Structure 1
Protein backbone atom coordinates (compact mmCIF):
# COMPACT_ATOMS: atom_id res chain seq x y z
CA UNK A 1 0.00 0.00 0.00
CA UNK A 2 2.81 2.45 0.82
CA UNK A 3 4.42 1.91 -2.59
CA UNK A 4 1.10 2.32 -4.38
CA UNK A 5 -0.05 5.20 -2.21
CA UNK A 6 2.92 7.42 -2.99
CA UNK A 7 1.80 7.52 -6.63
CA UNK A 8 -1.83 8.48 -5.88
CA UNK A 9 -3.23 11.98 -5.42
CA UNK A 10 -6.77 12.07 -4.05
CA UNK A 11 -9.02 15.13 -4.10
CA UNK A 12 -11.38 14.80 -1.10
CA UNK A 13 -14.68 16.72 -0.97
CA UNK A 14 -16.67 16.38 2.27
CA UNK A 15 -20.22 17.63 2.72
CA UNK A 16 -20.30 20.84 4.80
CA UNK A 17 -23.04 19.45 7.04
CA UNK A 18 -22.49 18.74 10.74
CA UNK A 19 -21.07 15.26 11.32
CA UNK A 20 -19.66 14.92 7.80
CA UNK A 21 -16.46 16.96 7.76
CA UNK A 22 -14.64 15.27 10.65
CA UNK A 23 -15.12 11.66 9.42
CA UNK A 24 -13.70 12.69 6.04
CA UNK A 25 -10.74 14.35 7.75
CA UNK A 26 -10.05 11.20 9.76
CA UNK A 27 -10.19 9.07 6.62
CA UNK A 28 -7.81 11.45 4.86
CA UNK A 29 -5.44 11.24 7.81
CA UNK A 30 -5.37 7.44 7.50
CA UNK A 31 -4.76 7.63 3.78
CA UNK A 32 -1.86 10.05 4.18
CA UNK A 33 -0.29 7.66 6.70
CA UNK A 34 -0.16 5.13 3.84
CA UNK A 35 1.58 7.54 1.50
CA UNK A 36 -1.46 8.85 -0.37
CA UNK A 37 -1.31 12.55 -1.26
CA UNK A 38 -4.50 14.33 -0.16
CA UNK A 39 -5.98 17.67 -1.16
CA UNK A 40 -9.16 18.44 0.76
CA UNK A 41 -11.67 20.85 -0.77
CA UNK A 42 -14.02 22.69 1.55
CA UNK A 43 -15.83 26.00 1.86
CA UNK A 44 -14.49 29.13 3.51
CA UNK A 45 -17.23 28.64 6.13
CA UNK A 46 -15.28 25.62 7.44
CA UNK A 47 -11.91 27.39 7.65
CA UNK A 48 -11.80 27.42 11.47
CA UNK A 49 -12.77 23.74 11.61
CA UNK A 50 -9.96 22.41 9.44
CA UNK A 51 -7.07 24.88 9.61
CA UNK A 52 -3.91 23.51 11.22
CA UNK A 53 -5.55 20.09 11.78
CA UNK A 54 -3.19 17.98 9.69
CA UNK A 55 0.05 19.24 8.24
CA UNK A 56 0.11 16.38 5.73
CA UNK A 57 -3.18 17.43 4.11
CA UNK A 58 -3.35 20.33 1.68
CA UNK A 59 -6.52 22.40 2.03
CA UNK A 60 -8.19 24.20 -0.87
CA UNK A 61 -10.93 26.67 0.09
CA UNK A 62 -13.80 27.70 -2.14
CA UNK A 63 -16.03 30.64 -1.34
CA UNK A 64 -19.44 29.59 -0.01
CA UNK A 65 -20.85 31.56 2.96
CA UNK A 66 -18.82 32.59 5.99
CA UNK A 67 -21.93 33.75 7.85
CA UNK A 68 -24.06 30.61 7.63
CA UNK A 69 -26.67 30.20 10.39
CA UNK A 70 -28.52 26.90 10.58
CA UNK A 71 -30.48 27.28 13.81
CA UNK A 72 -33.63 29.10 14.79
CA UNK A 73 -36.64 29.71 12.61
CA UNK A 74 -36.56 28.40 9.04
CA UNK A 75 -33.46 26.33 9.82
CA UNK A 76 -34.26 23.77 7.12
CA UNK A 77 -34.65 26.48 4.49
CA UNK A 78 -31.33 28.06 5.56
CA UNK A 79 -29.55 24.69 5.31
CA UNK A 80 -31.05 24.06 1.86
CA UNK A 81 -29.95 27.50 0.64
CA UNK A 82 -26.46 27.02 2.07
CA UNK A 83 -26.07 23.61 0.43
CA UNK A 84 -27.22 25.06 -2.88
CA UNK A 85 -24.49 27.73 -2.69
CA UNK A 86 -21.86 25.21 -1.62
CA UNK A 87 -22.75 22.74 -4.37
CA UNK A 88 -22.63 25.53 -6.94
CA UNK A 89 -19.19 26.58 -5.67
CA UNK A 90 -17.86 23.02 -5.92
CA UNK A 91 -19.31 22.58 -9.41
CA UNK A 92 -17.76 25.86 -10.56
CA UNK A 93 -14.30 25.13 -9.11
CA UNK A 94 -13.79 21.36 -9.39
CA UNK A 95 -12.46 21.30 -12.96
CA UNK A 96 -10.18 24.26 -12.22
CA UNK A 97 -8.67 22.54 -9.17
CA UNK A 98 -8.05 19.32 -11.08
CA UNK A 99 -6.47 21.23 -13.97
CA UNK A 100 -4.15 23.10 -11.60
CA UNK A 101 -2.97 19.83 -10.08
CA UNK A 102 -2.55 18.29 -13.54
CA UNK A 103 0.38 20.60 -14.26
CA UNK A 104 2.18 19.49 -11.09
CA UNK A 105 4.21 16.35 -10.39
CA UNK A 106 1.17 14.84 -8.68
CA UNK A 107 -1.98 15.08 -10.83
CA UNK A 108 -5.26 14.02 -9.25
CA UNK A 109 -6.21 10.40 -9.94
CA UNK A 110 -9.24 9.90 -7.69
CA UNK A 111 -11.96 12.17 -6.32
CA UNK A 112 -13.26 11.07 -2.91
CA UNK A 113 -16.67 12.65 -2.36
CA UNK A 114 -19.35 12.59 0.33
CA UNK A 115 -22.21 10.30 -0.70
CA UNK A 116 -24.67 13.17 -0.11
CA UNK A 117 -23.21 14.84 -3.21
CA UNK A 118 -23.66 12.12 -5.88
CA UNK A 119 -23.76 14.72 -8.66
CA UNK A 120 -20.00 15.13 -8.24
CA UNK A 121 -19.51 11.70 -9.82
CA UNK A 122 -21.01 12.92 -13.11
CA UNK A 123 -18.40 15.69 -13.29
CA UNK A 124 -15.55 13.41 -12.18
CA UNK A 125 -16.23 10.62 -14.66
CA UNK A 126 -18.02 12.43 -17.47
CA UNK A 127 -16.06 15.68 -17.72
CA UNK A 128 -12.72 14.98 -16.05
CA UNK A 129 -12.21 11.30 -16.88
CA UNK A 130 -11.16 10.43 -13.30
CA UNK A 131 -12.14 7.72 -10.83
CA UNK A 132 -14.74 8.49 -8.15
CA UNK A 133 -15.05 7.03 -4.65
CA UNK A 134 -18.20 7.61 -2.57
CA UNK A 135 -17.72 7.96 1.19
CA UNK A 136 -20.62 7.26 3.55
CA UNK A 137 -20.25 8.83 6.98
CA UNK A 138 -22.91 6.48 8.37
CA UNK A 139 -22.80 2.72 8.89
CA UNK A 140 -23.72 0.36 6.07
CA UNK A 141 -26.98 -0.61 7.80
CA UNK A 142 -28.21 2.99 7.63
CA UNK A 143 -27.35 3.19 3.93
CA UNK A 144 -29.17 -0.10 3.36
CA UNK A 145 -32.29 1.31 5.04
CA UNK A 146 -32.21 4.40 2.80
CA UNK A 147 -31.69 2.13 -0.21
CA UNK A 148 -34.78 0.08 0.68
CA UNK A 149 -36.83 3.28 0.94
CA UNK A 150 -35.61 4.51 -2.42
CA UNK A 151 -36.43 1.16 -4.05
CA UNK A 152 -39.88 1.01 -2.43
CA UNK A 153 -39.24 -2.11 -0.32
CA UNK A 154 -39.68 0.05 2.81
CA UNK A 155 -42.56 2.51 2.74
CA UNK A 156 -42.47 5.97 4.29
CA UNK A 157 -44.55 6.99 6.20
CA UNK A 158 -44.06 3.70 8.01
CA UNK A 159 -47.00 1.32 7.79
CA UNK A 160 -46.03 -0.80 10.81
CA UNK A 161 -44.07 -0.37 14.03
CA UNK A 162 -42.04 -3.55 13.41
CA UNK A 163 -39.54 -3.51 10.55
CA UNK A 164 -38.09 -6.63 8.91
CA UNK A 165 -35.27 -6.11 6.41
CA UNK A 166 -32.83 -8.62 4.86
CA UNK A 167 -29.69 -9.41 6.92
CA UNK A 168 -30.84 -7.23 9.85
CA UNK A 169 -32.40 -8.07 13.20
CA UNK A 170 -36.03 -7.15 13.78
CA UNK A 171 -36.25 -3.38 14.17
CA UNK A 172 -38.78 -1.12 15.84
CA UNK A 173 -39.73 2.12 14.13
CA UNK A 174 -37.68 4.21 16.55
CA UNK A 175 -34.60 2.11 15.71
CA UNK A 176 -34.59 3.69 12.26
CA UNK A 177 -32.89 7.00 11.43
CA UNK A 178 -34.91 9.93 12.77
CA UNK A 179 -35.42 11.24 9.23
CA UNK A 180 -37.38 8.04 8.53
CA UNK A 181 -39.56 7.39 11.57
CA UNK A 182 -40.26 11.07 12.29
CA UNK A 183 -39.55 13.18 9.17
CA UNK A 184 -41.78 16.06 10.27
CA UNK A 185 -39.09 18.22 11.95
CA UNK A 186 -36.72 17.68 9.01
CA UNK A 187 -38.58 18.62 5.83
CA UNK A 188 -36.49 17.91 2.77
CA UNK A 189 -33.71 16.11 4.66
CA UNK A 190 -35.06 12.64 3.85
CA UNK A 191 -34.97 13.48 0.13
CA UNK A 192 -31.37 14.62 0.57
CA UNK A 193 -30.17 11.40 2.23
CA UNK A 194 -32.06 9.27 -0.28
CA UNK A 195 -30.26 11.06 -3.10
CA UNK A 196 -26.97 9.36 -2.15
CA UNK A 197 -28.18 6.23 -3.96
CA UNK A 198 -29.03 7.94 -7.26
CA UNK A 199 -25.96 6.83 -9.21
CA UNK A 200 -24.16 4.70 -6.65
CA UNK A 201 -23.73 1.77 -9.02
CA UNK A 202 -21.52 3.99 -11.21
CA UNK A 203 -19.04 4.79 -8.45
CA UNK A 204 -15.63 3.11 -8.82
CA UNK A 205 -15.37 2.48 -5.07
CA UNK A 206 -17.43 3.19 -1.99
CA UNK A 207 -16.41 3.32 1.65
CA UNK A 208 -18.32 3.25 4.92
CA UNK A 209 -17.51 4.77 8.29
CA UNK A 210 -18.26 1.52 10.09
CA UNK A 211 -16.93 -1.59 11.85
CA UNK A 212 -16.48 -4.11 9.05
CA UNK A 213 -16.75 -7.23 11.24
CA UNK A 214 -20.07 -6.11 12.73
CA UNK A 215 -21.80 -5.66 9.39
CA UNK A 216 -20.68 -8.54 7.20
CA UNK A 217 -24.21 -9.78 6.47
CA UNK A 218 -25.80 -6.41 5.87
CA UNK A 219 -22.84 -5.36 3.71
CA UNK A 220 -23.27 -8.40 1.49
CA UNK A 221 -27.00 -7.73 1.23
CA UNK A 222 -26.40 -4.09 0.35
CA UNK A 223 -23.80 -4.87 -2.31
CA UNK A 224 -26.02 -7.56 -3.81
CA UNK A 225 -28.89 -5.07 -4.10
CA UNK A 226 -26.89 -2.46 -5.98
CA UNK A 227 -24.77 -4.97 -7.85
CA UNK A 228 -21.31 -3.58 -7.15
CA UNK A 229 -18.38 -4.33 -4.85
CA UNK A 230 -16.56 -2.19 -2.33
CA UNK A 231 -13.03 -0.90 -1.84
CA UNK A 232 -11.54 -2.17 1.44
CA UNK A 233 -8.31 -1.32 3.18
Structure 2
Protein backbone atom coordinates (compact mmCIF):
# COMPACT_ATOMS: atom_id res chain seq x y z
CA UNK A 1 0.00 0.00 0.00
CA UNK A 2 1.44 3.35 -1.06
CA UNK A 3 1.82 6.05 1.60
CA UNK A 4 -0.30 9.14 0.94
CA UNK A 5 1.72 12.29 0.31
CA UNK A 6 1.10 15.06 2.88
CA UNK A 7 0.53 18.54 1.50
CA UNK A 8 1.39 21.35 3.90
CA UNK A 9 -0.12 24.82 3.74
CA UNK A 10 2.75 26.31 5.75
CA UNK A 11 6.22 25.31 6.91
CA UNK A 12 7.42 27.16 10.00
CA UNK A 13 11.10 27.34 10.84
CA UNK A 14 11.40 27.90 14.59
CA UNK A 15 14.63 29.50 15.76
CA UNK A 16 15.00 29.43 19.56
CA UNK A 17 17.74 31.17 21.52
CA UNK A 18 20.14 28.29 22.28
CA UNK A 19 19.80 28.43 26.04
CA UNK A 20 17.96 26.80 28.91
CA UNK A 21 14.41 28.06 29.17
CA UNK A 22 14.15 29.04 25.49
CA UNK A 23 14.25 25.78 23.53
CA UNK A 24 11.51 23.82 25.27
CA UNK A 25 8.80 26.54 25.15
CA UNK A 26 9.38 26.91 21.42
CA UNK A 27 9.36 23.13 20.91
CA UNK A 28 6.04 22.92 22.77
CA UNK A 29 4.63 25.74 20.63
CA UNK A 30 5.78 23.92 17.49
CA UNK A 31 3.98 20.78 18.67
CA UNK A 32 0.80 22.86 18.98
CA UNK A 33 1.31 24.24 15.47
CA UNK A 34 1.68 20.81 13.88
CA UNK A 35 -1.40 19.58 15.70
CA UNK A 36 -3.27 22.00 13.45
CA UNK A 37 -4.05 20.86 9.94
CA UNK A 38 -1.49 21.34 7.15
CA UNK A 39 1.30 22.94 9.18
CA UNK A 40 4.82 21.58 9.26
CA UNK A 41 7.35 22.82 11.83
CA UNK A 42 11.11 22.53 11.92
CA UNK A 43 12.95 23.45 15.12
CA UNK A 44 16.47 24.71 14.41
CA UNK A 45 18.90 23.92 17.19
CA UNK A 46 22.64 24.49 17.23
CA UNK A 47 25.06 21.72 16.37
CA UNK A 48 26.37 21.79 19.95
CA UNK A 49 22.89 21.28 21.44
CA UNK A 50 22.10 18.54 18.93
CA UNK A 51 25.29 16.70 19.87
CA UNK A 52 24.92 17.18 23.61
CA UNK A 53 21.27 16.62 24.50
CA UNK A 54 19.83 14.67 21.53
CA UNK A 55 16.30 16.15 21.62
CA UNK A 56 13.56 14.05 20.08
CA UNK A 57 10.14 14.83 18.74
CA UNK A 58 7.87 12.69 16.62
CA UNK A 59 5.81 15.58 15.25
CA UNK A 60 8.37 18.39 14.90
CA UNK A 61 11.28 18.03 12.49
CA UNK A 62 14.64 18.95 14.02
CA UNK A 63 17.42 20.53 12.02
CA UNK A 64 20.72 22.09 12.99
CA UNK A 65 21.99 25.60 12.50
CA UNK A 66 25.47 27.00 12.85
CA UNK A 67 26.67 27.76 16.34
CA UNK A 68 29.39 30.01 14.95
CA UNK A 69 31.94 27.33 14.25
CA UNK A 70 30.70 26.07 10.91
CA UNK A 71 28.50 27.03 7.97
CA UNK A 72 24.73 26.42 7.80
CA UNK A 73 22.23 27.83 5.37
CA UNK A 74 19.00 26.31 6.60
CA UNK A 75 16.50 28.48 4.71
CA UNK A 76 18.32 27.94 1.40
CA UNK A 77 18.45 24.20 2.04
CA UNK A 78 14.68 24.06 2.51
CA UNK A 79 13.93 26.39 -0.44
CA UNK A 80 14.70 23.61 -2.87
CA UNK A 81 12.89 20.95 -0.82
CA UNK A 82 9.38 19.64 -1.26
CA UNK A 83 8.21 21.83 1.64
CA UNK A 84 10.02 25.20 1.56
CA UNK A 85 9.98 27.45 4.62
CA UNK A 86 7.10 29.96 4.55
CA UNK A 87 7.50 31.54 8.00
CA UNK A 88 10.30 32.01 10.53
CA UNK A 89 9.34 32.00 14.20
CA UNK A 90 12.29 33.47 16.06
CA UNK A 91 13.09 34.03 19.71
CA UNK A 92 12.74 37.72 20.57
CA UNK A 93 16.33 37.65 21.83
CA UNK A 94 17.45 37.15 18.22
CA UNK A 95 16.15 40.26 16.43
CA UNK A 96 18.63 39.71 13.56
CA UNK A 97 16.50 36.74 12.51
CA UNK A 98 13.83 39.12 11.20
CA UNK A 99 16.39 40.75 8.89
CA UNK A 100 17.35 37.33 7.50
CA UNK A 101 13.67 36.41 7.15
CA UNK A 102 12.97 39.59 5.17
CA UNK A 103 15.94 38.92 2.88
CA UNK A 104 14.18 35.75 1.77
CA UNK A 105 10.76 37.42 1.48
CA UNK A 106 9.31 35.27 4.26
CA UNK A 107 6.91 36.03 7.08
CA UNK A 108 8.61 36.56 10.44
CA UNK A 109 7.07 36.26 13.89
CA UNK A 110 8.74 37.04 17.21
CA UNK A 111 8.30 34.56 20.06
CA UNK A 112 8.68 35.63 23.70
CA UNK A 113 9.50 32.78 26.07
CA UNK A 114 8.88 34.71 29.27
CA UNK A 115 5.42 35.41 30.73
CA UNK A 116 3.36 38.28 29.33
CA UNK A 117 3.67 40.20 32.63
CA UNK A 118 7.47 40.25 32.24
CA UNK A 119 7.14 41.63 28.69
CA UNK A 120 4.72 44.24 30.04
CA UNK A 121 7.22 45.35 32.71
CA UNK A 122 9.96 45.62 30.05
CA UNK A 123 7.60 47.60 27.83
CA UNK A 124 6.82 49.94 30.73
CA UNK A 125 10.53 50.46 31.41
CA UNK A 126 11.26 51.04 27.71
CA UNK A 127 8.71 53.86 27.55
CA UNK A 128 10.07 55.49 30.70
CA UNK A 129 6.94 54.71 32.70
CA UNK A 130 9.05 52.67 35.12
CA UNK A 131 12.15 54.57 36.20
CA UNK A 132 15.32 52.50 36.43
CA UNK A 133 16.98 51.76 38.70
CA UNK A 134 13.90 51.10 40.82
CA UNK A 135 13.93 53.30 43.91
CA UNK A 136 10.28 53.56 45.06
CA UNK A 137 8.51 50.54 46.51
CA UNK A 138 6.01 49.07 46.03
CA UNK A 139 6.01 49.34 42.25
CA UNK A 140 2.66 50.16 40.70
CA UNK A 141 2.02 49.13 37.09
CA UNK A 142 -1.59 49.21 35.84
CA UNK A 143 -3.07 45.74 35.45
CA UNK A 144 -0.56 44.10 37.79
CA UNK A 145 -0.64 43.73 41.57
CA UNK A 146 1.68 45.96 43.58
CA UNK A 147 5.18 44.62 43.08
CA UNK A 148 8.15 44.44 45.40
CA UNK A 149 11.72 44.28 44.13
CA UNK A 150 11.79 40.47 44.38
CA UNK A 151 8.70 40.35 42.11
CA UNK A 152 10.51 42.11 39.26
CA UNK A 153 12.33 40.35 36.40
CA UNK A 154 15.95 39.80 37.41
CA UNK A 155 17.29 41.71 34.39
CA UNK A 156 15.79 44.92 35.76
CA UNK A 157 18.67 44.98 38.24
CA UNK A 158 21.42 44.80 35.60
CA UNK A 159 21.48 48.05 33.63
CA UNK A 160 23.68 46.68 30.83
CA UNK A 161 21.45 43.69 30.22
CA UNK A 162 18.23 45.61 30.58
CA UNK A 163 19.33 47.99 27.79
CA UNK A 164 19.70 44.98 25.50
CA UNK A 165 16.29 43.61 26.48
CA UNK A 166 14.60 47.00 26.09
CA UNK A 167 16.08 47.31 22.59
CA UNK A 168 13.70 44.51 21.52
CA UNK A 169 10.88 46.98 21.78
* TM bucket, shorter chain: 0.7 to 0.9
Shift of 1:139: 1.1
Answer yes or no: is 1:24 the counterpart of 2:1: no
Q: Does 1:110 align with 2:87?
A: yes
State the match for 1:194 in structure 2: 166
The residue number in structure 1 matching 2:64 is 61
How far the C-alpha of 1:50 sits from its partner, in A, is 4.5
Please give the alpha-carbon distance, in whole angstroms, between the structure 2 residues aligned to 1:150 and 1:50: 38
Structure 2 unmatched ranges of 5 or more: 1-6
Structure 2: distance between partners of 1:27 and 1:37: 12
* TM superposition shift of 1:190: 2.3
- Asked whether the 8 Å contact 2:14–2:90 carries over to 1, the reply is yes
Count the aligned residue pairs. Answer: 161
Q: Quick check: 1:7–1:106 contact (8 Å CA) kept in 2?
A: no
Cα separation, 1, equivalents of 2:132 and 2:105 = 37
Q: What pairs up with 1:173-192 in 2 under 5 angstroms?
A: 173-180=149-156, 182-183=157-158, 188-192=160-164
**Length-normalised TM-score, structure 2:** 0.84
Conserved? CA contact 1:116–1:195, under 8 Å: no
Q: Which has the larger radius of gyration?
A: 2
1:108 deviates by 0.9
Change (3 A) 1:63 1:105: closer
Aligned match of 1:139 in 115, 125, 128?
Answer: 115
Taking the aligned partners of 2:161 and 2:19, their CA distance within structure 1 comes to 11
More helix by share: 1
Q: CA RMSD in A?
A: 2.2
1:27-46 aligned within 5 A: 27-35=29-37, 36-46=39-49
Q: Is the alpha carbon distance of 1:146 and 1:42 closer, same or farther for their aligned partners in structure 2, counting shifts above 3 Å?
A: same
TM-score normalised by L of structure 1: 0.63
Q: C-alpha displacement at 1:104, in angstroms? A: 1.9
Note the residue ranges of structure 1 that are not aligned, 5 or more in a row.
Answer: 65-84, 198-233
Alignment partner, residue 53 of structure 2? 49
